[in-house]
Amino acid sequence: MLGNYLDEVRKKAPLIHNITNYVTINDVANMVLACGASPIMSDEPTDIEEITSICQGLNINMGMLNPRKIESMQKAGKKSNELYHKVLLDPVGAGSSSFRTEAALNLIRDIQFDVIRGNISEIKTLAAGHGTTSGVDADEADTLTEQNNILIQNQSELTRLQELYKLDEEYSDYPKVAARIISKDPGNWYDTFMINKGSKDGIRVDNNVIAGKGLVGIVTEVGSNWATVRSIIDDSSNVSAMTVGTDDTCVVEGDLELIDEGKLRFTQLYDKEDKVTAGERIVTSNISEKYVEGLFIGYVSEISLDSNNLTKTGTLVTPVDFQHLKDVFVITVNKQDSIEEGEQ
């Protein structure tokens, strides 16, 4: 992907306006040239807008700062915004002095930047409006915080991958494709979302989707490199299910209000012998039209007899965190496939 961007830069050979410090000015010019663009350096307020007008991009580096340069940065940035140029800011030393901090905050207030690059202390200063840093280096406490955050992220990623591995092992009889969620409907819950795999990866409408420790939903729409999934928590979802211990059938219904408690509703449970109790496992049933058999849905948490004295209704706890989904498995065989194979 980076190679494609560089090829595009070299085709267009844009002129880039650089307001940078005198220590790195040669390096900056050489790097711009190496990328296939052309550099021009100017920080004089009297001609700064004219220079910006003939360019196609602006790079602002706050390295050697003074009031004259701040004026130039403001003028160049505003002119670039008027011309819809890409603008980059390097807030060097933001947080090391009130002068630099105020200058950086004024720049991000008055100018729309496409990219802001800096160390963790500089970025924290811009976000909080104040901070500390050691010149161009990040504050030691911030560096340690960043390292700790990386360790936490790595541990979280490892845990997630271990869960996916276990899920793959548990449902090893079914062929699967791993996919990443790339968008979702507004709201806290992943009731409808899009994944980054599609028909070219063997995904079809009605493929079942799993994650965490159980059933997530079903594919409803497919493109060449994307697919839409409706999860079982959606209000329109109904899943034919059964109890593992007694093989009694029921219907698991989506409920976006009940999921706030981490639960789903089940109805139409035929439990004539009163054997189904709290803790019973509920899985997709063998008579489901769209879900393959045996996918874990949840544990029974509450159960009560309906007014007809024939069926029971209750709730179950789902093992899937529908508020923090990231990666899923798509089972690439449909229930209809197994039905057709059985008829042959």
What is the DSSP secondary-structure string of 170-185? HTTTS-EEEEEEEEE-
Radius of gyration for the chain, computed over Cα atoms and rounded to the nearest angstrom: 29
**Residue 240 pLDDT exceeds 70:** yes
Cα distance between residue 169 and residue 157, in whole Å: 18
Cα distance between residue 94 and residue 59, in whole Å: 17
- pLDDT tens profile 4-59: 778 888 999 999 999 998 888 999 999 999 999 999 999 999 999 999 999 999 99
Residue 3 domain flag: no
Read off the tokens for 218: 């079903």
Q: CB under 8 Å, gap of 24 or more: what pairs does 10-16 form?
A: 10/35, 10/36, 11/36, 12/56, 13/37, 13/38, 14/38, 14/55, 14/56, 14/57, 15/39, 15/40, 15/54, 15/55, 15/56, 15/57, 16/40, 16/55, 16/56, 16/57, 16/58, 16/59
The runs of H, that is alpha helices, within 231-343 are 335-343
Closest CA to 268 of 244, 245, 252: 252
Cα distance between residue 167 and residue 159, in whole Å: 12
Name the more confident of 312 and 139.
312
Cα distance between residue 36 and residue 155, in whole Å: 40
Name the more confident of 318 and 120.
318
- pLDDT tens profile 283-331: 999 999 999 999 999 999 999 999 998 999 999 999 998 988 888 999 9
Read off the tokens for 305: 């007899």
Residue 163 domain flag: no
Average pLDDT along the chain: 87
Q: Are 71 and 201 members of one domain?
A: no
Cα distance between residue 315 and residue 282, in whole Å: 11
**Residue 107 pLDDT exceeds 90:** yes
Return the percent helix, strand and coil in the chain, to nearest 5: 35, 30, 40
Q: Integer distance in angstroms from the first to the last C-alpha of the chain?
A: 47
Residue 152 domain flag: no
Q: Are 230 and 121 members of one domain?
A: no
Domain boundary among 93, 120, 142: 142
Which residues face 176 on adjacent strands?
A: 331
- CATH number of the domain enclosing 132: 3.40.1190.20
pLDDT interval class at 62 (50, 70, 90): very high
Residue 128 domain flag: yes
Q: Are 205 and 319 members of one domain?
A: yes
Q: What is the pLDDT of residue 253?
A: 95
Q: What is the pLDDT of residue 44?
A: 94
Residue 161 domain flag: no
- CATH number of the domain enclosing 300: 2.40.10.340
Domain that holds residue 54: 11-142
Which residues face 313 on adjacent strands?
A: 304
205 and 222 Cβ atoms separated by less than 8 Å: yes
Q: Are 196 and 288 members of one domain?
A: yes
- pLDDT tens profile 154-211: 566 666 667 777 888 888 889 999 999 999 888 878 899 999 999 999 999 999 999 9
